[in-house]
Chain A
């Protein structure tokens, strides 16, 4: 559709009669248009120049350069996982972002695709179909499964749909985990052990064996899906899906085929998840029920929510931020990664809460000073409370142990401090701004104490808590998601 038509119909001007629908507002609209200056203005002008094809080209070129500076291992952990999450996020975005259907069973489609592909290409039944046949078959089957789930669910709205689909997702995990029906003398899905030794993906004899080759394959698939969804989103059907998301009743009154569109969204989303499942199975060479449980559902939702519902570029950005920060925090990585992120989050949170340079300086100086003072006082009266060493702190080790109270031989201190921190944060949100400014240094210092005495001992837990904190901070900065459209309503 052409948005800039100049051949608008002539206004029906009759002398002596007010023209319906023309008012001063329109006459002045150009004077009223906000023209931001500075960085915001430059960003907006760049955004106007950089059209979607150019944006895609830039992202693809950058992504294609990634294998040049990541080793095979890092390319797998970062590059390939980012692409897998982008694909998963794009599929979920069709269902939740475009059509507004809260589908909590989405990961089951991913799992179904992965398992189906695994069974068609492993020693489990001794079937080794070529990928060129099995991938389309799996995608088709997963889409059909999406439709089958969609048909009874299409009359359900909001929470009801969420509960039904969540049940479906959990039913899938329970099913593949159970010792399910025997086929050819074997459990259909291999139970808790899953299916192992899945063939590497190959097309017409060309095997994708190195991580770089696999990365390139995923990148190509991602571009195809992205371009396809871009055209879907810009089509009349895409706009009808958005209309359905905004107001199903009004959409129905426009006689937009609401039910058919819901099924379409379910089918497309499931198909993309099924394809991602194939890729996941072949790249990890094994699938187990645990791969398709609630944590991955939360992560995929986080990708879509963080990027902004309905935004395709948002999914990419969300997947990059979440996968990279998650891998960065992985327990096998040095503790300092998590520590740096933790202090960055605290700093960001303070910047957001204070929003003024000289107050920020005061708060930061207060935090540092408070730490030094508390440490000095405690060291003078009860030396064992400060004689602990920071865990794996590298060159910051001495600095941290001289600032934060790290006790030796008081094992419960970390837990007590953690509970105190939670209480302090709750109190902080209820305080008046002036008092809050005074309380922030104390709470920030308490957070540092909790990190150094409690979280460093449990990296796996700390990872999730940090992840949650990061999401809370980012979503506070941009409630609509990083690239989402803010909702503006006057009426």
Chain B
């Protein structure tokens, strides 16, 4: 794995240009342009059925776009398989976390590192444990018996075990109590400060904009707003639509 500084800093890590994605005959994404720079935390906001998850699926290659290109780390990956993209440093924290419930926390983390050389395992594990000391305490516990907030940590830890360059997060606040949402975003910020570029897909505009560098707003498959997070918070339309003020 190369480090981020060696690649050209000006080129974004991830670039979606003119993406059109269909499910069968239904046009979901309409010429979506989006980019995430190295080490940047970007949030993608939108209500239900706005195309947030489809954007993530397109980035990961679970669905392929009809038009447009996905460029990742300088390479066109539009037609590359999901596992190849993950091998090149993408990782996802899926919606609803999707842990391997009857397996222990440690085993879940190990699965996240499946592609890493075995020699690096202990080192990766220490790094994740230092971000989430709770996971070290609970490493022998079955993941399915953890609370929602703890499961969120396992899901993030599992994704971080692959030492991703780009971490994709699908609705991290879903199903969590307000206090845990805050905690969850604290964790996201912490991971971000460790130098991982992140794209966070969220409905909760308030919290996500408070920690993001930049944000995009999707509405019925189009990017309707983009800009610095600090500016988006002030935006009247967005405030009306998502912040309820």
Contacts and interface: CB of A to CB of B under 8 A. Distances in A.
Interface of A: 1, 3, 8-12, 19-23, 26, 29, 236, 239-240, 242-243, 246-247, 249-257, 485, 487-491
B107 to A, nearest CB: 5
Contacts of A490: 144-148
Contacts of A12: 130, 133
B87 A255 contact: yes
A445 B158 CA distance: 58
A240 B134 contact: no
Contacts of B60: 253
A20 B186 contact: yes
B139 interface: yes
B32 interface: no
B115 interface: yes
B116 to A, nearest CB: 10
Nearest to A17: B186
B9 interface: no
A3, A242, A243, A491 pick with most chain B CB within 10 angstroms: A491
A247 B103 contact: no
24 contacts: A1-B110, A8-B126, A9-B133, A11-B130, A12-B133, A20-B132, A20-B186, A21-B135, A22-B133, A22-B134, A29-B137, A236-B110, A242-B102, A250-B99, A252-B82, A252-B83, A254-B158, A255-B82, A255-B83, A255-B114, A255-B115, A487-B102, A488-B144, A491-B144
B131 interface: yes
Nearest to A10: B130
Given A22-B134, A488-B144, A490-B145, A250 B100 contact: yes
B63 interface: no
A20 B131 contact: yes
A240 to B, nearest CB: 6
Contacts of A239: 103, 107, 110-111
B100 A247 contact: yes
A254 B82 CA distance: 10
Contact of A11 (B133, B151, B183, B186): B133
B101 interface: yes
B103 A9 contact: no
B192 to A, nearest CB: 13
B51 interface: no
Nearest to A485: B102
Contacts of B86: 253-255
Contacts of B36: none
Given A1-B106, A242-B102, A253-B86, A491 B148 contact: yes
Interface string B134-156: 11111110101111100101000
Nearest to A486: B102
B135 A242 contact: no
Q: Is the interface of A mostly helix, strand, loop or mixed?
A: loop
Given A9-B126, A9-B130, A239-B111, A20 B187 contact: yes
Given A1-B121, A12-B133, A488-B101, 4 more contacts: A20-B183, A20-B190, A23-B134, A488-B145
B98 interface: yes
Contacts of B151: 491
Contacts of B111: 239-240, 243, 251, 254, 256
Interface string B107-124: 100111011001001000
B97 interface: yes
Contacts of A3: 106, 139-140
Contact of B137 (A9, A10, A26, A246): A26
Which 3 pairs, one residue from A and one from B, show the smallest C-beta to C-beta distance?
A: A21-B134, A255-B86, A250-B98
A250 B92 CA distance: 9
Contacts of B100: 242-243, 246-247, 250-251
Nearest to A4: B140
B106 A8 contact: no
Given A11-B133, A490-B145, A254 B114 contact: yes
Contacts of A29: 137
B118 to A, nearest CB: 8
A485 B102 CA distance: 8
Contacts of B137: 22, 26, 29
B129 A487 contact: no
Contacts of A8: 126, 129, 136
A8 B137 CA distance: 9
Nearest to B137: A26
B94 interface: yes
B126 A246 contact: no
Contacts of B83: 252, 255, 257
Nearest to B139: A3
Contacts of A253: 60, 82, 86, 92, 94, 98
A246 B142 contact: no
Nearest to A253: B92
Contacts of B134: 21-23, 26
Contacts of B144: 487-491
Contacts of A489: 101, 144-145
A255 B60 CA distance: 11
Contact of B142 (A9, A11, A240, A488): A488
From B136, B140, B153, B187, name the one whose CB has the most chain A CB atoms within 10 angstroms.
B136
Given A21-B153, A257-B83, A489-B144, A240 B114 contact: yes
A487 B103 contact: no
Contacts of A257: 83
Contacts of B145: 488-490
Nearest to B115: A255
